[in-house]
Amino acid sequence: MFGRLRNKIIFSFCVLMVGGGALSTTLVSRTMSRTLGAAVDRSGSTLAEVLADQLTEPLAYRDRLTTHRVLTGARESNADLVYAFVVGPDGTIIDHSFPVDRFPADLLPLARTTGPRTVQTEDGTLRHLTFPIARGVLGTLHVGVSMTWVDAATADAVSNVLVTTLIAMGAGILGILLLAHLITRPVLALRDAADRLGRGDIGAEAPVMGSDELADLARTFNRMAAQIRERIAESEALRAYVERVLDQMESGIMVVSGSRRVEYANRTAVRRHGPLEDVSCFEVMAGERPCDHCPVPEVLDTGQVLHRTYRAASGRTYELKWVPIIGRNGQPAVVERALDVTERLEVRERLERAQRLAVAGEISAGIVHAVNNPLDGVRRALDLAADRPEDPERVQRMLGLAKEGTDRIAGITRTLLSFARGDEAQDPVPVAVDALAEAAVSLSRLKADARQVTIETDLEPDLPEVWMDPQGMEEVLVNLVLNAVDACPDGGKVRVSAHTRDETLEISVQDSGPGIPVEAAQAVFEPFFTTKDTAHGTGLGLPVARRVVEAHGGELVLEEAELGGARFVARIPLRPAPQSLEGTLG
Ligand code: ADP
């Protein structure tokens, strides 16, 4: 390029020199012709004037011999005078400097001219001048003055100009070559450095030559290259840092392009699958084509994150996650994160097994506790009956106590069984909620009266019929009301309310008892949690009630009571159409 630049400079210079040379040559030749032509005119006119003087007398006396002698003598004595002739007032040629009767025919037209003319003849260029003899009375003298020397002088001057121009041009070209070399050397060096930098040689520097603008340019380039080096070093450090972080990750991380090539893999992924440079993700999975249900196109199409759990042939389990990103070349790609959860799952399974065992242990202890007491009673009653078999009345009473005990055990096992099977709720039917609440209240009335506890109801007028299991829900309400009565041993108040709110039926039972401390709020719903003595409490009432309510798609929660004690609220969605409750059981 810079070679071409130098050629351009030389070519432009040559064009300028040639143009300038041609122009100056033309100017010189024109000026010389004009100046020397005027000189010829002046000397020719003087000659003609002298000659006209000499001819006046011979012409007046018609002395042709003298006239001819004057004309030929003048031509012979003056080398620049090519010819001379006299034209009479009538236009005829009276005499001339040529031999007698040898007047050249091509000069005849000139005999009629009056002003000066430049004429080309075989002898070269000449100037034709006229001069009136005796103010034209005796005719006009015509002379031809040679201009050959003028041509020669002009040609000489032009050739001098040309030679000067050529010498100047040669010197100029040499100068230009030197200048071009001085300019192009640093520019070429700069270009080479830029080329090297462009090819990735970040150490490339341009030599600084001298202190001119090109040296400034080289310095600027070097500063720019240093900044690029700095930026590259910074981004390299950042890349290495991110890579170190990614390599420390427990998850295998790969970036897969839209064409399924692995763009990046962290150390965990490489440890799992081996080298991943220039392989496709299905090759990673030892396949020859993309896997069935390949998640990459789906993630790219929808732009959504996908999760899957995958159990590999090795028996290990991975939690996989695919996230769409913009890949290395600015094209959409997918990050695949594979976390080996095998150990975690095993630990969780062990933990769950241990928890199940603990729960089983707790439940067994609860059952043993719940069954042991009535069983003790039964044994004691039977022992007492056996002690005095002769007393039939006593035997009868003791057998009655023993039956009560076995009934209680049977009740406990029945409740336990239904709790374990989750069959608390039967198929739903439309139930009048106010009637259901009233029934529960009347079933609890006996015990309430004995404890001097008043039960009041707060039922929304025109409550709708709700699809539910009437028997299960009645048991729930009776249980809640009896618990509320139990909480008021020295008399008090229990309120049963039923309202509808936002497509939900809300039935609550609250009391004026001591309430339930916050720390026991969750425990009351756990099986076998009871604060009652063994004859009265099993700790199964609330857990069973909660399961029944949940089987209706609702919830049973403990809330603050206006009456000061506990308030249990059952919220059941108002079902628009009948459906089995079984499907909702957990
Ligand atoms: P149980 O009545 O056989 O004890 P529940 O599951 O019905 O079993 O009740 C568990 C425990 O919750 C009771 O022993 C009692 O301590 C507490 N509880 C239930 N209802 C109330 C209430 N209304 N006020 C205070 N405590 C209550």
| 2-155 matches 249-340 in fold | yes
Q: How far is CA 348 from CA 160, 345, 353, 355, in A?
A: 110, 5, 8, 10
Counting atoms of ligand 1 from 1, which one is nearest the CA of 537?
3
Separation CA 444–CA 584 (nearest Å): 29
Whether 483 lines ligand 1, by a CB cut-off of 6 Å, is yes
**CB of 276 within 8 A of CB of 262?**
yes
Output b/e per residue, 386-419; b: 16+ Cβ within 10 A.
eeeeeeeeebeebeebbeebeebbeebeebbebb
What is the best residue among 371, 480, 536, 542 to mutate for testing ligand 1's pocket, by most ligand atoms within 8 Å of CB?
542
Whether 539 lines ligand 1, by a CB cut-off of 6 Å, is yes
Whether 510 lines ligand 1, by a CB cut-off of 6 Å, is no
Whether 511 lines ligand 1, by a CB cut-off of 6 Å, is yes
Q: What is the pTM of this model?
A: 0.42
Please report the DSSP string for 144-183 in residue order: EEE-HHHHHHHHHHHHHHHHHHHHHHHHHHHHHHHHHHHH
Three-state DSSP state, 219 = helix
Where are the domains positioned within the chain?
A: 2-155, 249-340, 345-423, 426-586
The pLDDT profile of the chain, 586 residues, written as one tens digit per residue, is: 555 666 777 788 888 888 888 898 888 888 888 888 888 889 899 999 999 999 999 999 989 889 999 999 999 999 889 999 999 999 899 999 988 778 888 888 988 888 899 888 877 888 999 999 999 899 999 999 998 888 888 888 888 888 888 888 888 888 878 877 777 788 888 889 889 988 888 888 888 888 888 888 889 999 999 999 999 999 999 999 999 999 999 899 999 998 899 999 999 999 988 888 888 888 887 778 888 888 899 999 999 999 998 888 888 899 999 999 998 888 999 999 999 999 988 998 888 888 777 777 777 777 777 787 778 888 888 998 888 889 889 889 889 888 888 887 887 787 777 666 655 456 788 999 999 999 999 989 888 999 999 999 999 998 989 988 888 899 899 999 999 999 999 999 999 999 999 889 999 999 999 999 988 999 999 888 889 886 678 888 899 899 889 988 899 999 989 999 999 999 999 875 554 444 333 2
Separation CA 492–CA 454 (nearest Å): 6
CA dihedral 386, 388, 394, 399 (to 10 degrees): 10
φ, ψ dihedrals at 105, nearest 5°: -65, -30
State the distance from the centre of ligand 1 to the C-alpha of 467, rounded, in angstroms.
28
Q: Which H/E stretch holds residue 534? A: none
Q: Which H/E stretch holds residue 461? A: none
Separation CA 260–CA 284 (nearest Å): 10
Q: Which CATH homologous superfamily contains domain 2-155?
A: PAS domain (3.30.450.20)
Whether 522 lines ligand 1, by a CB cut-off of 6 Å, is no
Q: What is the pLDDT of residue 493?
A: 96
Residue with tokens 């005999």: 111
Whether 415 lines ligand 1, by a CB cut-off of 6 Å, is no
Q: What is the pLDDT of residue 425?
A: 55
**CB of 58 within 8 A of CB of 67?**
yes
Fold of 249-340: Beta-Lactamase (3.30.450)
Q: Which H/E stretch holds residue 51? A: helix 2-60
State the distance from the centre of ligand 1 to the C-alpha of 380, rounded, in angstroms.
28
CATH architecture of structural domain 345-423 = Orthogonal Bundle (1.10)
- pLDDT tens digits for range 387-422: 888 988 988 988 988 888 888 788 778 777 766 665
Q: What is the pLDDT of residue 496?
A: 97
- pLDDT tens digits for range 55-76: 999 999 989 889 999 999 999 9
Output b/e per residue, 38-62; b: 16+ Cβ within 10 A.
eebeeebbebbeebbebbeebbeee
Q: How far is CA 227 from CA 189, 191, 209, 231, 237, in A?
A: 20, 18, 21, 6, 15
Q: What is the pLDDT of residue 281?
A: 86
Q: Judging by DSSP bridges, how do beta strands 453-459 and 492-501 pair with one another?
A: parallel
Whether 566 lines ligand 1, by a CB cut-off of 6 Å, is yes
What is the best residue among 424, 524, 526, 534 to mutate for testing ligand 1's pocket, by most ligand atoms within 8 Å of CB?
524
φ, ψ dihedrals at 109, nearest 5°: -60, -30
Q: Count of H helices and E strands in the chain? A: 12, 17
Whether 541 lines ligand 1, by a CB cut-off of 6 Å, is yes
Whether 565 lines ligand 1, by a CB cut-off of 6 Å, is yes
Q: Which residues contact 427 (CB under 8 A, 6 or more apart)?
A: 469, 580, 581, 582
Whether 271 lines ligand 1, by a CB cut-off of 6 Å, is no
Counting atoms of ligand 1 from 1, which one is nearest the CA of 529?
10
Fold of 426-586: Heat Shock Protein 90 (3.30.565)
